[in-house]
Structure 1
C-alpha cells in the first residue's frame, strides 16, 4: 500500500496552514462553503479548513492515509478520483474550492480527472493546483523526482494548454519552494490571466523551455551527479567511515538506485513515518528504521535523501552534527555539511 503521510513534514504542514488561511480569506470561505481536496492523504490540509469552520471533504485512494484522516475527523472518501466517481458518489457536490496538491502529475488519465473536477466545481468556484515545476526540476537537476508515480512534468505552458481543453482558464500562478520548486495555479471556468501568468508564459517561451535542448543537458548532468556521489560514498567507505541515510521517500529510492554498487555502503535509512519502519528500500535492500536510531548508532556520515527539506532536517539533526556527524546533501549540488556550516 501507499505509505506516504504528508503530516510527517513540519515545513509542509506550515506551508499548508498558510495556504488554507490565505485561500479562506481570499475566497471568502465560511461555514456555508465547501472545500474538496483530491488526493487528501491524511487530512494534512483539510484539518486547517476545518479549524477555520469551513466544511471539508477529502478523496484519496490509499487506505492507510484515509484511515489517518478519518481518525482526525476529516470526512474522506476512500477511492481514486475519476469522472465516474464525480458523477456517482459526488453527484450532489458543488464545491466552492477544489484543491489538488501534487496529484495531477500522478494521474494516468488527466483528461478524465479534469472533467471530474469540472463536474464537482461550482460555477464560480476556484480550482487550486500545485505541481512540481519542470523548470525548477531541470535547473536543480532533481532527477530523483523522475519516477514511475510521476507520469508527467508540467511547465505553466503545458498545464494551461491542458486545462484550456476542458474549459478552464488559468487565472493566477505562484512559484513555491516546496518539493524542490513548484507551481501553485488558480483556475476557474472563467476569468482572465493575471500579469504573473502572462509573464511566466512569455519567459518559458523566450527561455527555450519549449524546445528539447535543456532536457538533453539535464540528462547528462544527472549522470555526472550520480557518478560524483557514488565516488564520494566509495571514498568514505574506503576510509572506514560509517554511512546511513535520512529519509525513505520515493526520491531517495531513485537516488540510491542510481548509485550502483556504492549504495551498499548505506547501512540503514531513518524516517519519521512509522508506517515505513521495519520495511526495506526497494532495489537496494536498505532497512528503514526510526530517526532515533541516528543518535543510537551514530553513523559518521548521513546522506540526506529528501534534500528539498534541507533546513528542516538539519535543524532536527543539530544534535547529531554537534556530536561530530556530517550530512551529505546530494542536490542541487553536492555538499558536505558539519556543525560549523549551520
Structure 2
C-alpha cells in the first residue's frame, strides 16, 4: 500500500491519493515493474501445444491415456476424447467446445452429460462437457491463448477429471456429486497450480512461428506478475469472507447492521477504505443471488487445500506417478463418498496448512 501511494505521488503526480485512484496507480506500477505484453505471451500458448502438454501431464500422473475419437457433435469445432486406463479399457469420455461463436453462452465451465453409476449390473461410463470461449483459429494459424485462458482450461479440466475418474457407483456420491461446497473447487484449483511451473511450462508452450518453448526470462516475469499485489488481494478476499460469515450469523440484525458489520471487518483486516457513501454490500451478488451465502470463504479455503495438496508434488516431483496415483486414489476417485477433509488427510498425511498458499503467493519465504 505504501508503495502504491509513493508511486502515485512521485511518478504520477497524484498528491492526495484516494481509494478510487488505486486501481489506476496499481496498473501503472504493474506496467513499470513487468515489461512484457500479453500478445508476446500468447505467441507461446498455441492451443495444440497447451492441450498436448496438459494431456501428457495427467497421463503421467494417473497412468491413463487420452485419445481423440469420432462422435456426433453440435458444431464442427467440437472435439470428443476418451480416457483409457492402463489396461487400455475406456473408462470415460469428454467433449471440448473451446472457441467463442455467435449465440454461444459466455464464460467457461465443466458440465456432466452422464455420471458413473451401476445400472442393471453394468457400469455407466461418465461423460463430461468442457466449454470455454477462446479466440478461434484464423486460417492455418492455431488458436493463441492468454495465460488466463491456459489457467482456465486447466481449471475446467480439473473439474472434468473429478467427474470422470471417480470410482463410485452410486449416483449421489459419484464424481463431484455430494462433495462439500467448500471442497468442490479443490481439484480444479489444484490443476491451475501446474501452469506456472517451469517443468510443465516447457511441455505446454510452442511458439507459433519459431516452435521454441517459453524462455526462462519471460516465465520469471509471469511468476512475478502473478504475485504482484498478492497481499492486498488476499486481505480483500478475507474481508469479503468474514463479512459474509458474520452477516449470516446475525439472527436478529439491528438497523444498519449490514454496513456496521462491513465497517467493523474492514477496520480489522483492510488496507483500503472506500468513501462513507459507498454501499458495496448492496451489490455483493455472490452471497445474495449466487449461492455463496455464508460460504464465500470457500474461495480462499479451496486455494489453501489445493496449494497444500500441490506442495506434495513439488516435494516429490511434478510428474511423479506415485503421488499422482495417490491423488487419484484418495481424492478424485472418492467423489462424495466420504468427507472431503478425510480425503485430503488420506492424501497429504495431515490436515491442511496455510503455509503452501502463502509461499505460492510470495508472502512466505520458500524453504
Q: TM-score, normalised by structure 2?
A: 0.23
Larger Cα-atom Rg: 2
Greater relative contact order: 1 or 2 (C-alpha under 8 angstroms, separation 6 or more)? Answer: 2
TM-score (norm 1): 0.25
